Chain A
Amino acid sequence: MSRSAGWQSLLPLVVIAVVAVPLAAQSVTVRTVANALHVQARGFSFIEGPVLTRLKEGRSVRIDFELTVLTKPDGPSTKQAAQGFTLSFDLWEERFAVSRIGSPPRSISHLRPRDAENWCLENLTVPVSSLGFGRDTPFWIRLAYRVHDVAPEVNQAPDERYTLRGLIDRLSRRREEADLAKSVDAGPFRLP
């Protein structure tokens, strides 16, 4: 096999890798524990960007999650669960703390970012009995969150407004705003 033919045979693998890596980076799986449907979303990160900045400044951040079970992609929702969490960053331990809002309260600390994110998802469940369908019925999941009280800075020094730095700041601010809410759809799944 010539050298060029070898590269050509690798091309499909490269294409598959390019397509698959982003998908794998945000893969959603479901599992049931007792009567609760849990969702795991690898790559569904929210402790980053302006949220992380705010936490590292010792401020707390409230994040509201919604987990929606759909019978079709973009179809009507069968069941929806909502749960809010308060996150803070222990400045001396350099670990994250999360508290579930509502009753009964639950809190945990000494978590790394990914563990804190997973803890939030573990505490966001839908009762299986409320879904109203059996194990053979396919369903889809929509997982969404919204961050509260992280407002990008309004003001900018007048002399920075028309500079390259000002432009970069403005563009990055738009990115920050986009980070304040995120949603991911996945499926089809079947009840395990």
Chain B
Amino acid sequence: MARRLPWRRDMRTLALLFVLLGLPLVAANAQEADAPEGAVIDAVEISGFSLYSLSPGLQKDINSLVGSPLNREGLNQLASRIEQEQPEVVAAVRGVSRPDGKARVIFLVARISDDTDLTENINARYIVETVDVEGPYNEISQQLRDDLQKLVGRRLDTDEAERLQERLEKELPGRDVARRISKGSQTGRIRVVFEIFEEPWIRFAPTRSKLVYHSQQGWSGVLDIPMSSSRSRHRFTAGVAFNDIDELIEEYSGFRLAFESRVIGTEKLGARLEFSRYNQTWEDATLTALASNPGIPELYRNRLTFEPTATFAFNPRVRINGGISISELESLSNSPNSQMANAWLFGISGDHLWQGSNDVRQRAEASYQIRAAVKGLDSDLVYKRHLGQARYQFEQGRSEAIASLSLGYITGDAPLFERFSLGNSTTLRGWDKYDISPLGGERMFHSSVEYRYSHVAVFFDTGSVWDRNTESKIRYSTGFGIHSDNSFLTVGFPLNSDGADVTFMAGVRF
């Protein structure tokens, strides 16, 4: 759906609230109660519309209400006839009680195009009678269950319903959520149903969109635009890295295009093709360090990568993937000469979600990936890169604890984009990766524990990155911050540093 201008929507919705379906609100403000069935009608009004726009027959029927007993069914039929004669409007009717016991009938008419909720879905005119969830209701937090029920008794707010659907998708990662509406038990009432579908066996790769600030490294901005509907089997993603210094030891900008399919004949088989081209910028610390480490492969000015992979899912929890990654690295000092870094890829990953009683949720994820660049793939650089990662998350109410562990090991001559680095907005927070190891390293371990209560977080990170011929130095950092679903604001302190630099990090990942 097209994005709408919020001010326009608010203005129109507000206008319509007063003019049309907010009639109960108007009546309440005016201390006017509903007139009882059978009360004699002493006045009829039409608001927001000219009576003379209607057919003579309908005008006559409306005018003849005066003096007759109030009959709600008959009034609703007249409102319906107004809509049939004037299909660009919606009409509502109410009989309000006069102090003398008589009734005043008000037809409130408004153009559909003046209300963006109605233009998006005509059923937004109706009152929500019930909200139901079809699927694992117990896996939804109490807060979200309560918020879902807040839709009841009000006009259908399609924006709010969409937000709730997004929250469901967020609380149930990997599940697809759809929304449908059906008739309620009474005329003018509707039932909203959120359908939660079984988790797909193969999931799309998470988007890398982010805008991150690191006080020692600067800004990083990446925008991924995935193109698919929520339940589609295929997805195309166009991504732009305006500048990313957060992820790797290199600072890069460029673009990527990716096509993913999570169902190829069977939901157990998926595939992914990614093409990317990034231009590199190197920090002074890296350039200086490289001069004294001639064994490390040379710097490159741009990196062109083509990466086709396939994924096979044994079940919704465990998957393996394999493929090749072909990278051409154009030399920084001897352009247009280039080196190839062509690697076989193999990985296995698994995850599991436990939903217990008392709103306890636990999620565990683990993965291992090897990238083996070999001469057989015409690779100039020959190396093997192993990376194992594990993460455990425990949530209860507003409390959340996260523990993670990463282990990395490289043999051979890996290019700089493959070398491990620590000290960014997600690892060894408080340290600067260019102080720790400006060329990255061949060995790495990192662990982190974090506790969050509501939006406040404290953490303790431990890690080391080193080369095969150097000694490992373990570094620690701690800090605190404010986290929401997508955004964070963190202050990190290196604990065993010679200086006492404080690092400030903020950003949004979406």
Contact = CB atoms under 8 A, between A and B. Distances in A.
A41 interface: no
A99 B120 contact: yes
A154 B183 contact: no
Give 8 closest A-B pairs by Cβ, nearest first: A58-B181, A97-B122, A107-B112, A99-B119, A57-B180, A151-B229, A105-B113, A107-B113
A92 B188 contact: yes
Contacts of B80: 93
A101 B112 contact: no
A30 to B, nearest CB: 25
Nearest to A161: B266
A153 interface: yes
Interface of B: 1-2, 80, 83-84, 87-88, 90, 111-113, 118-123, 126, 176, 179-183, 187-188, 190, 197-198, 200, 228-233, 262-263, 266-267
A28 to B, nearest CB: 26
A156 B197 CA distance: 10
A155 B230 CA distance: 13
A92 B119 contact: no
Contacts of B1: 60, 62, 86, 149
Interface in A26-54: none
Interface size bucket, A side?
A: 20 to 34
A34 B122 CA distance: 31
Contacts of B187: 92
A154 B176 contact: yes
**A interface secondary structure, majority:** loop
Given A109-B112, A110-B84, A89 B200 contact: no
Contacts of A99: 112-113, 119-120
Identify which of B123, B176, B181, B266 gathers the most chain A CB atoms within 10 Å of its CB: B123
Nearest to B266: A161
Given A58-B181, A154-B267, A155-B197, A111 B87 contact: yes
Given A62-B2, A154-B262, 11 more contacts: A58-B190, A84-B2, A88-B122, A91-B182, A91-B183, A92-B126, A105-B113, A109-B122, A151-B228, A151-B231, A154-B200
Contacts of A23: none
6 contacts: A57-B182, A58-B180, A89-B122, A106-B113, A107-B118, A109-B112
Contact of B232 (A90, A93, A108, A151): A151
A190 interface: no
Given A58-B182, A109-B83, A90 B122 contact: yes
Contact of A59 (B88, B119, B180): B180
B267 A88 contact: no
A152 B200 CA distance: 14
Nearest to B112: A107
A36 B108 CA distance: 35
Contact of A109 (B90, B182, B188, B228): B90
